[in-house]
Structure 1
Amino acid sequence: MRTIIVATDFSDIAENAVEYAATGASIIDAKIVLFNAFKLPLHASNTILSVENVQSMIDKNKLKLETRANDLIKRYDIEVAVDSSLLNVEDEVERLMKQYDAEMVIMGMAKRSLEQDLLGNTTTNVIQKLKFPVLAVPEGVTFKPVKRILYACDVVRGIHKTILERIKDIARSWNAEIEVFNVQEKIEELQEDPSFTKDPLKDEMTGIQYFYKNVASNTIIKEIRNEVVNYQPDLLIMVPNRYGFWSSIVHRSKTRMMAAGLDVPLLSIPI
Structure 2
Amino acid sequence: MYKIVALADFSAASEHAIIFAQALLANTVADFYLVHTVEPQSTDRNVGIFKQAETPQSVAKSLQALKLTLMQQPVRTSHTYHTRVLTGNTDRAVENLLNQEHFNLIVIGLTDAGRHSFFGNQATEMIRHAKANVLIVPHMSFIQPLKQIVLATDYLSINTTQSLDFLNELTTQKAIQLTLLNIVNPDKPNLQPSESSRNYIQRALNTTKTDIYTIYDADTRHGLSAYLDSYQVDLLVMIPHHKSFFDLLTNNSLTRGMVSSLRVPLLTLYDPAMD
Instruction: Specify the TM-score bucket, using the shorter chain as the normaliser.
Output: 0.7 to 0.9
Distance (whole Å) between structure 1 residues aligned to residue 154 and residue 256 of structure 2:
16
Amino acid at match of 1:105: I
Shift of 1:210: 0.9
Q: Which runs of 5+ in 2 are unaligned?
A: none
CA-to-aligned-CA distance 1:141-185 (integer Å, 9 cap, x gap)? 143222211000113445632223443222102111111001123
Q: Which residue of 2 aligns with 1:16?
A: 16
Q: Which residue of 1 aligns with 2:109?
A: 108
Distance (whole Å) between structure 2 residues aligned to residue 97 and residue 168 of structure 1:
22
Q: Which residue of 2 aligns with 1:154?
A: 154
Distance (whole Å) between structure 2 residues aligned to residue 124 and residue 68 of structure 1:
26
Amino acid at match of 2:68: N
Q: Which runs of 5+ in 1 are unaligned?
A: none
Amino acid at match of 1:267: L
| Structure-to-structure mapping, 1:26-37, within 5 angstroms | 26-37=26-37
**2:33 equivalent to 1:46:** no
Amino acid at match of 1:46: T
Equivalenced residues, count: 259
Amino acid at match of 2:122: T
Question: Cα gap change, 1:96/1:146 in structure 2, threshold over 3 Å: closer, same or farther?
Answer: farther
Aligned 8 A contact 1:111 1:261 in 2: no
Distance (whole Å) between structure 1 residues aligned to residue 11 and residue 113 of structure 2:
17
Distance (whole Å) between structure 1 residues aligned to residue 255 and residue 146 of structure 2:
20
| Structure-to-structure mapping, 1:218-233, within 5 angstroms | 218-233=218-233
Distance (whole Å) between structure 2 residues aligned to residue 257 and residue 55 of structure 1:
31
Question: Cα gap change, 1:56/1:9 in structure 2, threshold over 3 Å: closer, same or farther?
Answer: closer
Aligned 8 A contact 1:179 1:211 in 2: yes
CA-to-aligned-CA distance 1:62-114 (integer Å, 9 cap, x gap)? 1111121122224455421001122222222233335453210000123566x
Aligned 8 A contact 1:128 1:253 in 2: no
Question: Cα gap change, 1:231/1:253 in structure 2, threshold over 3 Å: closer, same or farther?
Answer: farther
CA-to-aligned-CA distance 1:31-59 (integer Å, 9 cap, x gap)? 2100011235x7xx4368988x7598221
Shift of 1:123: 2.5
Greater shift after overlay, 161-170 or 206-215?
A: 161-170
Shift of 1:11: 2.1
Q: Which residue of 2 aligns with 1:59?
A: 57
Amino acid at match of 1:58: P
**2:89 equivalent to 1:91:** no
Query: SS at the partner of 2:6?
Result: strand
Amino acid at match of 1:86: T
Q: CA RMSD in A?
A: 3.6
Distance (whole Å) between structure 2 residues aligned to residue 18 and residue 204 of structure 1:
29
Higher helix proportion: 1
Distance (whole Å) between structure 1 residues aligned to residue 261 and residue 198 of structure 2:
30
Shift of 1:135: 0.3
Amino acid at match of 2:43: N
| Structure-to-structure mapping, 1:242-257, within 5 angstroms | 242=242, 251-252=251-252, 257=257
Length-normalised TM-score, structure 2? 0.78
Percent identity of paired positions between Structure 1 and Structure 2: 21
